[in-house]
Structure 1
């Protein structure tokens, strides 16, 4: 049995300069609704791997579903918010102004350190990842090979849950678009 994670393709993100927190919150909302940048299609080897999977699952974010479509998936078995990326905290201060990339790094670090203002905590995200891992495990039992077209950090959290259940695979964070991580279950 295999569970394969593919990180979504590069979103066609809104272009902007430096933003305050309120502007960045709106930028994230636009990012979550964005289609992919079609000038950066999936590599052929990623398409080939996706085509070998019996079941395809996506988060409900547009970049996940659009990625599956660009991979040539004709039938997405499940589109579910349980597989969404971990949200970023939303601060109410309006200073300083930073680039979206700087906000992403800063807020993600703060989230890992425990700041969960207006979003789920790390503990809640890990519980969600355990539930998502159970769903993927059950799908793999029934279908042998499952593909999740998902997100960087949350895929990593699910991977940790799968490893705790006896799955073998990479525990690396999928930091590049279209990056693949595979987990295999070998019955004792």
Structure 2
């Protein structure tokens, strides 16, 4: 009698984007001020809100304050790890130009996608890190059938693409890539088949 056979239960990965940070992307800043805005944004906590969901037992987060505070909002215990941090952007500076910080961020991300990597990880490196993230998630899935993560906008998109490529189904999306947006992925495939 084969005792190694077990019924494969459905596994689930839930990925949140962090809640809204205290530092606003709508601030109008010069290119000269963009690097200091990024530092303030990365050090920022979240705007306090009432939790709208049942608390998760364990939540994996990045080690950035906005991710950890969001994790504490939705979970009983958080496990911070820098691997879940946002993909870095080059700090593009055109000193005389003023625009909203989120437009500086979008411009920097656009240039980064096309190869500009001034003192930050490259797009290629970020995609490699996503493979490590998936391996980290899978190691947690060996212990639990459900993993909850609080990440960041762009890195979450890269994780989504890789999970779908590996056979996960995107079963639910709430609020897309907005703050506290949520994506739920499911599979019944054994992890070894990935």
Q: Same-fold call, TM > 0.5?
A: yes
CA separation of 1:54 and 1:15: change in aligned 2, threshold 3 A: closer
**Structure 1: stretches of 5+ with no match in the other structure:** none
C-alpha contact 1:4 1:147 (8 A) present in aligned 2: yes
- Matched residue of 2:99: which SS? coil
CA separation of 1:16 and 1:168: change in aligned 2, threshold 3 A: closer
Query: 1:17, CA displacement in angstroms?
Result: 4.9
Query: 1:98, CA displacement in angstroms?
Result: 2.1
Larger relative helix fraction: 1
Separation (CA, whole Å) in 2 of partners of 1:171 and 1:131: 24
State the aligned residue count. 179
- Matched residue of 2:179: which SS? coil
| TM-score computed with the length of structure 1 as normaliser | 0.85
Query: 1:22, CA displacement in angstroms?
Result: 3.2
RMSD value, Cα: 2.3
Larger gyration radius, structure 1 or structure 2: 2
| TM-score computed with the length of structure 2 as normaliser | 0.83
Query: 1:113, CA displacement in angstroms?
Result: 2.0
Larger relative strand fraction: 2
1:10 counterpart residue number: 20
C-alpha contact 2:25 2:100 (8 A) present in aligned 1: no
CA separation of 1:119 and 1:130: change in aligned 2, threshold 3 A: same
Superposition misfits of 4+ residues, deviation over 6 angstroms: 170-173
